[in-house]
Amino acid sequence: MTIVEEIALRQSMRFGFLVVGALVAVVYAVLFCYRGPSRTKTLIKAVPMLAFSAAAGISFGYQLIVSALLLSAVGDIGLSLKGKRAFLIGLIASALALLAYIFHFFALSGYDTSTITFAIFGVLSLVVISDVWIIPHTDTVQRLLWANVVLLATTGIVALSLPVTPLAKFGAFAFLTSEVLVGLHIFSTSASSFQQRSVSILQWLLYVAGQLAILMAVGWKTPLFQIW
């Protein structure tokens, strides 16, 4: 196989994975996201992030982006299953995905490793301080939820403040908004079933659109393999 043929093959596979991920995400939004747990729901939910990570991996995407998408898929699976253990695994995977995005955005900004390490240390310190002083009587799940909130906010701030592309900033904003809607969906017990369903669909679509936008904007190393 010549270099040109390999490039064409990788490009075709990349677009194929992106299309599959997007289509399955729409199917999940329309038919599954507002329903109760099931094996089919978990399987369908895992496909978009796995497909996006495959699209990045097959076409020389940044390793941190590939890792973030794979961890997001693990998080999606864990958070869709029954049981505290699966939920904890999902939360941890989601937190690690956010850390990967934070590192990637800092790397794109040209900041050196020491600056990135300092920023991550600051975020983790805030989480520890919060555990000790703000929420000393909470359980493990609540602490991980708080850690995810801090990491998510940091991801949004980093993406919006550093010189990344407008599409990447939109992706981070959509990602952040989707997580806000998760809280709204969980705690708005007085909402009607129609409102709950609408919020679930909107949250999922923003979540997928955010990750896809980040991938399209800053997922590939060179313009030859970049689609935006």
Instruction: Using the predicted structure, report yes or no on whether residue 124 has a pLDDT greater than 50.
Output: yes
When mean pLDDT is compared across 15-24, 59-68, 79-88, 101-110, the lowest value belongs to 101-110
Tens digit of pLDDT for each residue in 41-59?
A: 999 999 999 999 999 999 8
- Mark 168-186 as b/e (b = at least 16 C-beta within 10 Å): bbbbbbbbbbbbebbeebe
The number of folded domains in the chain is 1
Residue of higher predicted confidence among 221 and 185: 221
Tens digit of pLDDT for each residue in 206-216?
A: 999 999 999 99
pLDDT at residue 45, rounded to an integer: 95
The pLDDT mean for the chain works out to: 78
Residue of higher predicted confidence among 50 and 132: 50
pLDDT at residue 128, rounded to an integer: 54
Instruction: Using the predicted structure, report yes or no on whether residue 31 has a pLDDT greater than 80.
Output: yes
Global pTM reads 0.79
Tens digit of pLDDT for each residue in 142-195?
A: 666 666 666 666 666 666 666 667 888 888 888 878 877 776 655 555 556 777
Chain centroid, CA 178 distance in Å? 10
Q: Which residues contact 115 (CB under 8 A, 6 or more apart)?
A: 106
Range of the domain at 135: 3-225
Look at the alpha carbons of 54, 58, 61, 62 in this order and tell me if their dihedral is positive or negative. positive
Q: Which residues contact 192 (CB under 8 A, 6 or more apart)?
A: none
- The pLDDT > 70 percentage for the chain reads 68
Task: Give me the amino acid identity at 180.
Answer: V
